[in-house]
Structure 1
Amino acid sequence: MIKLVLILWYLFVGGLWLLFLAMVFGDAFGTNFKNVRKQAIIEGLIPTFFITILCLIIALIPNFIGAIIRWIVSLFH
């Protein structure tokens, strides 16, 4: 059950990540492929990097919490 919840959590955070990326790059891909605005893509790379790092940290928080709980239990075992 916990594995299922973790998988659903990863899918949720991944969906949010894709939504944020679509918001950042939405204006860059508004035209056809030959007229893609390269300047908008380059300007969107830095926020994309930070959004990706933030989403990875949020997605991995349950793993860190589980590791801390296991470490505390092992101290008293």
Structure 2
Amino acid sequence: MIKVMLILWYLFVGGLWLLLLAMIFSDAFETPFKKIQKQTVIEGIIPALFITIIFWMIALIPNFIGAVIQWIISLFH
């Protein structure tokens, strides 16, 4: 059951991450492919990188909590 919850958690966080990335690059997607300016894409990459790192950390929080709980339990055994 815990693995199912983790998979759902990863899907939820990944969906939010993709939604935010689509919002960042929405200006580039609305213009025709030949008229996409490199500057708008480069300006979108920097916040996309930060958002990716933040969502990566959020997605891995349950793993860190589980590792801490296992470490605390192993101290008492």
Does TM-score exceed 0.5, indicating one fold?
yes
| Mean CA deviation greater in 8-17 or 36-45 | 36-45
| Counterpart residue number, 1:64 | 64
**What CA distance in whole angstroms lies between the structure 2 residues aligned with 1:71 and 1:56?**
22
**What CA distance in whole angstroms lies between the structure 2 residues aligned with 1:37 and 1:25?**
12
C-alpha contact (below 8 Å) 1:28/1:38 kept by paired residues: no
* 5+ long unaligned stretches in structure 2: none
- State TM-score, norm by structure 2: 0.96
| Mean CA deviation greater in 24-33 or 13-22 | 24-33
Give the number of aligned pairs: 77
- State TM-score, norm by structure 1: 0.96
User: What is the identity percentage for the equivalent residue pairs of Structure 1 and Structure 2?
Assistant: 71
**What CA distance in whole angstroms lies between the structure 1 residues aligned with 2:29 and 2:42?**
13
TM-align CA RMSD: 0.7
Structure with higher RCO (Cα < 8 A, 6+ apart):
2
Aligned with 2:30: secondary structure? coil
